[in-house]
Structure 1
Amino acid sequence: LRDLLLVRVEALPEHAQRIARLVAEGGSHVEHELLAAVAGLAEDDLDAALRAAVGAHLLQPAPDTDGYRFRHSLVREAVS
C-alpha cells in the first residue's frame, strides 16, 4: 500500500514533493507561514507546489487555520 501511495507523490513536480514531505514531518497540520519559512521557496513557487499537491488530492487546507494537512493519514505515514 505504501508503494501505491508514494506513486501519487512521486508523480508531482519536485517542489510539490518537497512540500508534501515537509507537511508530513510537521505532524497533523502545518501553518502556511511555517511552511513558507522552512520550504525556502519563492512565494510563487510555494503557491504552485501547494496547488499541485491539493489538486492531486494529497493535501487539503486545514480547517480553521491558515495551513495544510494530508487528506488521509495513511498518505502522511507513507511520505514521512
Structure 2
Amino acid sequence: MIAFFVQIKCQLGKSYEVAGELADAEIASEIYSTAGDYDLLVKFYVPADTDVGHFVNEKVQKVPGIQDTRTIITFKAF
C-alpha cells in the first residue's frame, strides 16, 4: 500500500460538506480540519500499483466544493 496526504482548500463555507463527502465515499483513511492555507488534510492508502495522480484527479478533485489540492507523497514511516 502507498500512503499519501492531500491538503484541500475548499470553497468558502464548504469544508464540512467536503469532509462529509470524502467520509461517505470511504476512500480516505483519516480526515483532519486544519488552519492555514488549506482547510483539510486527508490521508489516503491505495494499492502499490495505483496511479496517485489519477486517483486524486478522479476520486478527490471531483468532490463538489473543492477549490484546490496539494498532494504530499510519503516514503517511509518511522
Pick the TM interval, shorter chain: 0.3 to 0.5
- For the pair shown, the structure with the greater C-alpha radius of gyration is 2
Q: TM-score, normalised by structure 1?
A: 0.37
Higher strand share: 2
Q: TM-score, normalised by structure 2?
A: 0.37
Higher helix share: 1
